[in-house]
Amino acid sequence: MSSTIGLEPVLGRSDEMIVNMGPQHPATHGVLRVVIGLEGERITRAVPHIGYLHRNHEKIEESRTYFQVVPFTDRMDYVSGTQNELPVVLAVEDLAGIEVPERAKMIRTMFFELFRIASHLVWMGTAMLDLGAITPFLYTFWDREIILGIVERTAGARMLPNYYTFGGVRRDLHPHFFKDVAEFLDHLEKRMPDYEHLVLENPIVHARTVGVGVLSKERAVARGVSGPVLRASGVAYDVRKAFPYDAYPEVEFEIPTSDAGDTYARFWVRFQEIYQSVKILRQLLEKTPKTGPFKGRAPARLKISGERYRAVENSRGELGVYVVGDGGDKPYRIKHRGAAFSNLQVIPDLFIGAKFSDAIAILSSLDPVFGEIDR
Among 36, 50, 96, 129, binds other proteins (CB under 8 A): 50
What is the per-residue binding string for other proteins in 61-90, x denoting contact by CB under 8 A? -xxx--xxx-xx-xx---------------
Q: Does 160 bind other proteins (CB under 8 A)?
A: yes
Q: Which residues ranging from 318 to 357 are in contact with other proteins (CB under 8 A)?
A: 318, 320, 322, 324, 332-333, 335, 337, 341-342, 344-345
Are 368 and 53 in contact by the 8 Å Cβ rule? The answer is: no
Contact call for residues 108 and 307 (beta carbons, < 8 A): no
Q: Which residue number, 26 or 327, has a Cβ lying nearer to other proteins? A: 327
Residue 251 near residue 280 (C-beta atoms within 8 A): yes
Q: Which stretch binds other proteins (CB under 8 A): 110-118, 222-230, 268-276, 280-288?
A: 222-230
Shortest Å distance, C-beta 261 to other proteins: 16
- Name the minimum Å distance from CB 40 to other proteins: 26
Count of other CB atoms within 10 angstroms of residue 2: 6
What Cα–Cα distance (Å) separates residue 172 from each residue in 89, 104, 179, 300?
18, 9, 15, 19
Q: Give residues 10-49 in contact with other proteins (rule: CB under 8 A).
A: none
Is 64 or 279 the residue whose CB approaches other proteins more closely?
A: 64
Any contact of residue 237 with other proteins (CB under 8 A)? yes
| Angstrom distance (rounded) from CA 259 to CA 296 | 43
The residue from 194, 210, 249, 328 that contacts other proteins (CB under 8 A) is 194
Distance between CA atoms of residues 114 and 185, nearest Å: 10
Q: Which is nearer to other proteins, 50 or 363 (CB)?
A: 50
Site string for other proteins, 263-292 (x = CB under 8 A): ---------------------------xx-
Binding test (CB under 8 A) with other proteins, winner from 21, 229, 235, 265: 235
Q: How far is the CB of 49 from other proteins (least distance, A)?
A: 9
Contact 361, 368 (CB under 8 A): no
Residue in 332, 360, 329, 335 with CA at minimum distance from that of residue 67: 329
> What is the spatial distance between Cα 77 and Cα 369, in angstroms, rounded to a whole number?
6
Footprint (CB under 8 A) of other proteins, residues 90-109: 94
Which member of 9, 222, 299, 357 binds other proteins (CB under 8 A)?
222
Q: How far apart are CA 371 and CA 122, in angstroms?
A: 15
CB of 50 to other proteins, least distance (A): 7
H helix runs in the chain, sequence order: 57-62, 66-74, 85-96, 102-131, 135-155, 177-195, 203-209, 217-222, 228-231, 239-242, 263-287, 339-344, 347-351, 356-366, 370-374
Q: How far apart are CA 213 and CA 219, in angstroms?
A: 12
Residue 279 or residue 297: which is nearer to other proteins going by CB? Answer: 297
Q: Shortest Cβ distance from residue 348 to other proteins (Å)?
A: 10
State the Cα–Cα distance between residues 300 and 122, nearest whole angstrom.
37
Q: Does 238 bind other proteins (CB under 8 A)?
A: no
- The piece of 76-84, 258-266, 274-282, 305-313 that touches other proteins (CB under 8 A) is 305-313
Instruction: Pick the stretch among 16-24, 110-118, 169-177, 277-285 that binds other proteins (CB under 8 A).
Output: 169-177
Strand partners, 21: 34
